[in-house]
Chains A and B, each alone.
Chain A
Amino acid sequence: MVAGQPELGPGRAAGYYSWQHRLPAASAGYLRWAGFAGLFFAGLLLGIMAVLLGALFQGQDLSLLPDEMLQPQLLRLVGGAVIQASLSAVLSIIVGAGCALCVFRRGMFFGRSALLTLSFLAMIMPTTVAAVSLLSLWGRQGAVRQSVNSLFGTDLLFAPYGLFMVILAHMFFNAPLVMRVCLSVLQAIPESQMKLAAQLRFGAGSYLRFIEWPAVKQALPSLFGLIFLLCFSSFSLVLMLGGGPAVSTLEVAIYTALRFEFNLPRAGALALLQLLISSVVILSLSRLELQSWTSRLDAMQTVPRSDRDRISVKSLDIFVVALFCLIVVGPVLSLILGIDIGGGAGLFHRPVFWSALFSSCLLGLTAATASTAAALLLAAGRCHLHYLDHPLIRERGAEIIALSVSVYLVLPAIVLGTASFLLLRGIADLFASAFWLVLFSNTLMSLPFAARILMARYSAVVSRSHRLALSLNLRGYSYFSRIILPAMRHEIGLSLGLCCALSLGDFGVIALFGSDRFQTLPWLLYQYASRYGGPEAEVLSLLLLLLAVALYWLLYKSVGLWAERGLRPC
């Protein structure tokens, strides 16, 4: 036995285990503080959720709820939404996974970086902008429809508003998500397996059957569940492209009940039903691990493949990537190329535009900062609880923190807005407090995304660095600013940028509380697109898209620079 090392016999195993978790006394104070702060904050988040749930139940005659929920009209609506969400999920997976397989097979090719960048663009694009972009390509005056009309003399395409359009819009958002997840899974295939396949003279079919499909299929159930949930609780896309009550979701029904019918009990009942279904899906999803879709995809396999140069395979790859581009890149290109800036310039003379621009920027930046800070606190809490020497707090605490984040996944923005409305209607002037309500909602809505990006990385950084940091007497704020922050700059920047873009483009709670007194750009865009349409909506769409990209990029890059500056000697 080496001197100084504990003997790892059966009698010493327990002691060795606790040595791994126990920290020197010098560090315990700071770590314990961070752990308990995170736990306290998680409790606060769960408390807010409980209050919101209570508001939904408040004023409901619970005995009437089953009857309310079993109305044929409502069952039809839910059935239609299930079909729409299932179709959207399946088609997104076919197109996204197909594209990932082709991109993986081709390795490096002209336009690869652009394709991956554009696939990320769809993630940060406001839904209202996507709706206008899709209409500019597939709508009545859209480029594709016009081409088909002039070619065949009649309109052979699907209706410009309705189920197909909604599914297409959902594919626009979700096929890139599937593509990124599947590509990161494929790129994680060990190089030795690819070398083995090359030696064994695999063709495209053998690669798919023995290597690619076994890797990709693990990611598909969780992707299907997530996309189903997103499409089932879709709001703005269905509102703008559904074309009426025939294609609807519970979200849209809640919006109609609250905004137009002012039927509060019905809105509450619908919100509860939505919550119930989302919870079931989320619970089923919790058993499946969702792969990260924010991984860097720059690295690629360089092992030669025997199937790459076959004409049939090349043709298939070109077809699939072109189809993906038509669905994902086509609408954005169509919007940019077809825009009538002169016709839409009147937008800049409207004071409401400048007011909405200011509100949106303020909301985006504030909500991004709040949700990233909250996610960092929760990440620190979860990580440092793990190092406490009390097993009960360690285990239950981690569960509470995980629950406090995931619980907001089941709460769509419209449900949150409805709950806030029911909770505060007698207490405050809701339309005057719209900014705070939207900020609150946007922060909570983006929290699960921020937490997902930050938590795993925080734990990895701490587990790798804390002993070395302690030996160098780096503790507390010094440890955070000198070690954790620089190591997490990519993730913090990503979280800030993503949350800002999500918040900037959100058309959830604002749909309920937007008014002449308070507007955001997505709200204004919805007004223009649904009432006036035309060039002003298109110019506003492009501006909103550029703003989302600019703020995302600015935050992502500036955090990196700031963190690097923090590393310089004082």
Chain B
Amino acid sequence: MPRHRLDFDLAAGSVLLVTGPSGIGKTTLLNIISGFVAPISGSLNWEDRDLLSQPVWQRPVSFLFQEGNLFDHLSCRLNLYLGISPSGRVSAAEAALVMQTVTALGCAELIDRMPPSLSGGQQQRMALARALIKNDPLILLDEPFSALDSDNRQQASQLIREIAAKHNRAVMIVSHEREDAHALGADTLELKPA
């Protein structure tokens, strides 16, 4: 089992790009932060809160996986409502907040469609909208550009930069490409074989 020692800080409003060769443990790092994998040792804190002692559902984290970020059999609207309440029931004010967020992300007209009818990029925007609505201060993105062409990659980078800056979120992105750091205005954390 590979072991790595990592020590880094992440500020609200910043973007951190995690790069490194395949199999080095980039996704595992995100899984540890979100609580799906337990580290052998160490500590993990967010604003003086010890995250390692908290289960997944209590951590202030939104994790966007490479795929499968939306429930395919539920409409996008219900997918977004689930970010506010696990029962899927929201108040009028909360529904308005949802509309405001998807409008800001340029996907308001897609909100009543089913996820499989959207392109990969549109699905990613919907998932990002839910992460924003969920209001978690830390957003983890696992290879968000892997299925995008260069134009869409550019747009997505800009969107992530805006999300971090405007909404004061810390964003951590796993990517193979070190060049993405420039487009994102991000710091880089490079994982190397021990």
List residues of chain A with CB under 8 Å of any chain B CB: 190, 192-193, 195-196, 198-203, 205-206, 209-211, 214, 303-304, 306
Contact = CB atoms under 8 A, between A and B. Distances in A.
Contacts of A192: 65, 67-69
Nearest to A211: B71
Contacts of B42: none
Nearest to A306: B57
Given A304-B35, A306-B57, A206 B63 contact: no
Contacts of A303: 36
A200 B86 contact: yes
B61 A210 contact: no
Given A192-B65, A195-B34, A209-B88, 4 more contacts: A195-B63, A200-B82, A201-B86, A210-B74
A300 B73 CA distance: 22
A48 to B, nearest CB: 44
Given A206-B87, A210-B88, A211-B71, A195 B82 contact: no
Contacts of B44: none
Interface string B73-100: 1100000001100111000000000000
Most buried by B among A205, A210, A211, A303: A210
B2 interface: no
A211 B70 CA distance: 11
A304 B63 contact: no
A237 B141 CA distance: 58
Interface residues of B, number: 22
B57 A198 contact: yes
B56 A198 contact: yes
Contacts of B88: 206, 209-210
Contacts of B63: 195, 199
The dominant DSSP class at the B interface is loop
B55 A306 contact: yes
A137 B10 CA distance: 64
Contacts, number: 56
B67 to A, nearest CB: 7
Given A214-B73, A306-B57, A196 B68 contact: yes
Interface string B32-45: 00111000000000
Nearest to B55: A304
Contacts of A306: 55-57
A21 to B, nearest CB: 29
Nearest to B35: A304
A196 B69 contact: yes
B86 A206 contact: yes
A302 to B, nearest CB: 9
Contact of B57 (A193, A199, A205, A210): A199
Contacts of B175: none
Given A190-B68, A192-B69, A210-B74, A199 B55 contact: no
26 contacts: A192-B65, A192-B67, A192-B69, A193-B68, A195-B34, A195-B56, A195-B65, A196-B65, A196-B68, A198-B36, A199-B34, A200-B57, A200-B86, A201-B57, A201-B86, A202-B57, A203-B86, A206-B82, A206-B86, A206-B87, A303-B36, A304-B35, A304-B56, A306-B55, A306-B56, A306-B57
A201 B62 CA distance: 11
A212 B118 CA distance: 24
A310 to B, nearest CB: 12
Contacts of A209: 88
Interface string B50-64: 000001110001110
Contacts of A211: 71
Contacts of B56: 195, 198-199, 304, 306
B87 to A, nearest CB: 6
What 7 pairs between A and B have smallest CB-CB spacing? A192-B68, A206-B86, A306-B57, A198-B56, A201-B57, A202-B86, A214-B73
Contacts of A205: 87
A194 to B, nearest CB: 10
Contacts of B82: 200, 206, 210
A203 B73 CA distance: 19
A198 B82 CA distance: 12
Contacts of A199: 34, 56-57, 61-63
Nearest to B61: A199
A188 B65 CA distance: 18
A202 B86 CA distance: 5
